[in-house]
Structure 1
Amino acid sequence: MHTIVQVDQYIINSAEFAIPILEHLRNLVHKADARIEEKMKWSMPFFELKGPVCHFASFKNHCAFGFWKGSLMKDEYNLFKDRSNAMGSLGKITSFKDLPADEILIAYIIEAIKLNEDGIKLPPKPKAPEKPSLVVPKYFIDALQEDPKALGVFQNFSESNKREYVNWLEEAKTEATKQKRLDTAVEWIGEGKPRMWKYIKK
């Protein structure tokens, strides 16, 4: 299906109150720059020119309009209610009263386009801290080496399966508990069972 038709369909299928608002927003975007292209992404209409510029979405009781690079925009009129995930959103729109003046919104759209034309990119997302590499205690390795089958199974376990056993042993409060868990761990591993095998749905 052609994207323009998809966007038409999206608007028609929206709640009755939203239809004129979405049509108005769509017209403003194209008025700001005739080169804008419409695309459907994540099941909602996006407006693109050398990359995403803005998008809108319709919900049961409100609409939303946001800018892809909102976090980099000046937001001179404090329109953005939320700049999470780098996007700038106008907040919940339930009627035309919730929209800024046409010329203000057009100025924002032009600013967003300029960011794309100037090649200004969003800063990369911070990487999640890496988990420290797994250290298998020597006593555990020694116990596994006494049972070659268990050792082979353990070596082929995923890191998360290995980690669950190591954590279980290391969390033991007494040496007696640790020894008991160690014997059980070697037995279970020899049978090919992960630490949480009892909870796996068959």
Structure 2
Amino acid sequence: MSGRTKTVVMNPAVDAYIDRAKPFAIPILLHLRGLIHKASTEVVEEIKWSRPFFSYKGAILCNISGFTKHCSIGFWGTEIGAVLREAGAVKDEGMGSLGKITSLKDLPRDKVLVGWLKQAMGFVDSGEYTSPIAARRQVVKAAKAEIEVPSDFSEALGKGTKTAGVWAGFSPSCKREYLEWITGAKRAETRAARIVSAVGWIGEGKQRNWKYQG
């Protein structure tokens, strides 16, 4: 009896992220997403720090991002980072592993990109994977206590709405930035205005400081 092929599970939150991207970015993000799953059906999708991340056996493999004028893919794991640098693939450390991607022509051949993804998975399988965050973290800070979502903000988000779904997919740190901004208002009028702005930005999948990103 032949083995069953594992079905790739697509996360609706990642679908929503790609749908909201600029028109030029959508085919790039879809292509990258497809190659990541082509490398392995064990990859799991999730939204972290308001962008799509892909994990393999519990380790972050990579993330993809769509900005105003370019896209990027960032490989995680210090070992695969060294491989990419040695291959001369890293163009700008601050712009993802492969630099600014403005069209499919900016990407390496599919076979090459899938090969790098499989190499990254190989480091996970062999136990050699090292998170870049863990590698540079010298002091582990105590986790901040969660901030309770105020009732007026919760009502503005709504229940079962698209905006509420995007909010639920945000990382704890992303949520904290919004909540600290809203609860830090000294006047009721300011607080109300911030809630209106926050709900609008969240509905578009934007972080609190989205103006300074990309």
TM bracket, shorter-chain basis: 0.5 to 0.7
Larger RCO (CA within 8 A; separation ≥ 6) = 2
Instruction: Name the counterpart of 1:21.
Output: 28
Displaced runs of 4+ in structure 1, greater than 6 A? Answer: none
Instruction: Name the counterpart of 2:51.
Output: 44
8 Å Cα contact 2:93/2:99 also seen in 1: no
1:129-168 equivalences in 2 (<5 Å): none
Q: How much does 1:6 deviate?
A: 0.5
Choose the corresponding residue for 1:10, options 17, 28, 40.
Answer: 17
Please give the root-mean-square deviation of Cα atoms over the aligned residues, in Å. 2.4
TM-score (norm 2): 0.53
- The code of the aligned residue for 1:62 comes to H
8 Å Cα contact 1:3/1:39 also seen in 2: no
The whole-number CA distance in structure 2 between the counterparts of 1:93 and 1:22 is 10
The whole-number CA distance in structure 2 between the counterparts of 1:42 and 1:116 is 22
Choose the corresponding residue for 1:119, options 114, 127, 140.
Answer: 127
- The code of the aligned residue for 1:12 comes to D
The whole-number CA distance in structure 1 between the counterparts of 2:76 and 2:101 is 18
The whole-number CA distance in structure 1 between the counterparts of 2:51 and 2:137 is 26
Structure 2: runs of 5+ lacking an equivalent: 1-8, 140-214
Choose the corresponding residue for 2:90, options 80, 84, 93.
Answer: 80
Inter-CA distance 18–119: structure 2 relative to 1 (3 Å threshold): same
The whole-number CA distance in structure 1 between the counterparts of 2:70 and 2:96 is 17
The whole-number CA distance in structure 2 between the counterparts of 1:107 and 1:44 is 23
The whole-number CA distance in structure 2 between the counterparts of 1:107 and 1:33 is 11
- The code of the aligned residue for 2:41 comes to A
The whole-number CA distance in structure 1 between the counterparts of 2:138 and 2:50 is 27
The whole-number CA distance in structure 2 between the counterparts of 1:24 and 1:3 is 14
Structure 1: runs of 5+ lacking an equivalent: 129-202
Q: Deviations over 1:95-137 (max 9, x none)?
A: 1111000000000100111111222224632637xxxxxxxxx
8 Å Cα contact 1:68/1:88 also seen in 2: no
The whole-number CA distance in structure 2 between the counterparts of 1:59 and 1:13 is 11
Residue 92 of structure 1 aligns to a residue whose secondary structure is coil
